Homo-oligomer: A and B are copies of this chain.
Amino acid sequence: MKLATIDNATRDGQLVVVSTDLRKAVVAAAIAPNLLTVMEDWDRFEPDLQALSARLNAGDAEGAFDFDQSKALAPLPRSFQWIDGSCFKNHLRLMAMATGRDPDIEMNSPYPLMYQGMSDDFHRPQGEIALPREEDQIDFEGEVGIVLSEVPMGTKAADAHRFIRLVLLINDVSCRAFVKREITAGFGWMNAKPSTAFSPVAVTPDELGPAWKNERVHLPLHVSWNGTLFGKPNGSEMSFSFGELIEHAAHTRKLAAGTLLGSGTISNRNHSEVGSACIAERRSIENLEEGGARTDFMTFGDRIRMEMFDADGASIFGAIDQTVVQYKP
């Protein structure tokens, strides 16, 4: 089942069911007003949504219309919690080495690295990233993520799969100029992490077929910057499973229904073949291999696109496709 949210002038948007090929959609208003409500009572709403999805895919859903990714909001335009891991240790190693931090702190840690993000306002998948200054070093970060129903405090990794309802793509927009100050203070990201973007469509794990394995997404994420492929690293090398991330996050708290949980920047050991999913990692590689960073951060007008394809080359989640612009008050 594939779900999306379109604008209906409410803060949480209108839930729609999207066909597997992303061509058609149908409003799910008769079932639930929005996806946040669905997440809060998944077991109650899922059968009706699945039935509507089956009718839509059979070409048999009344009121079906052409799905326009460019008009979609984030599947959850806002949520009560957004937590992002940084769970590709290859990425952590490269970033630490390039910034003079001790890579062993994270490489040897049995705990996943994770931050609490702002969840009050997510970007639409295709539209503008408005930020005040180019000198804040605007970067993209390509990730995969999950949407959870309510996770009780103390949930263990082995049980966590029960709460994973949806999978989606993430552009974790970052302002790198603030990273050093904020990571040194140790309190996490405030200026360095503006609003985040999610793919137009969130899908139940079964839509990934064999690519959903060990609570990881075993597919490459295609990241293009201004129309040129920047990287296509594979989600399979995630150093912790999503279940392990859930256990870590839920040790001293519950996770509310609708919590979004990200993998962190996808990164592979064979980065010279597959490239990177963020500029900062490429700059780290350039620093290490070429003695200096050549690639600059984003400038106003730049475009970033992220998409993931199935074995037949069909887009699974639709595309994140954003343009960086200067914020005007």
Contact = CB atoms under 8 A, between A and B. Distances in A.
Contact of A80 (B115, B120, B152, B254): B120
B105 A184 contact: yes
Interface string A255-270: 1100100000000000
The 4 lowest CB-CB distance pairs between A and B, nearest first, are: A188-B188, A120-B256, A183-B186, A80-B120
Given A182-B186, A183-B186, A187-B189, A116 B116 contact: yes
Contact of A188 (B11, B189, B194, B251): B189
Contact of A191 (B11, B105, B119, B252): B252
21 contacts: A11-B40, A78-B256, A81-B119, A81-B120, A114-B190, A116-B116, A116-B118, A120-B254, A120-B255, A121-B253, A132-B153, A132-B154, A153-B327, A153-B329, A154-B329, A175-B252, A182-B186, A183-B187, A186-B186, A187-B189, A188-B188
Contacts of A130: 153
A97 interface: no
Contacts of A195: 253
Contacts of A279: none
B118 A253 contact: yes
Contact of A252 (B131, B183, B188, B252): B131
A163 to B, nearest CB: 14
A166 interface: no
Interface of A: 11, 40, 78-81, 83, 86, 105-106, 109, 111, 113-121, 130-132, 136, 152-154, 175, 178, 181-195, 248-249, 251-256, 259, 327, 329
Nearest to A81: B120
A120 B255 CA distance: 7
B194 A253 contact: yes
A192 B114 CA distance: 12
Contacts of A78: 80, 256
A329 B154 CA distance: 7
Given A86-B187, A114-B187, A132-B252, 12 more contacts: A80-B121, A105-B184, A109-B185, A115-B187, A118-B253, A153-B329, A154-B327, A178-B252, A191-B248, A191-B252, A194-B252, A195-B253
Nearest to A102: B184
A60 B168 CA distance: 54
Contacts of A152: 329
A141 B193 CA distance: 26
Nearest to A328: B154
Contacts of A115: 116, 187-188, 190
Contacts of A252: 131-132, 136, 175, 178, 191-194
Contacts of A188: 115-116, 186-189
B120 A117 contact: no
B185 A119 contact: no
A252 B118 CA distance: 11
Interface-centre pick from A83, A115, A117, A249 (highest chain B CB count, 10 A): A115
A231 to B, nearest CB: 23
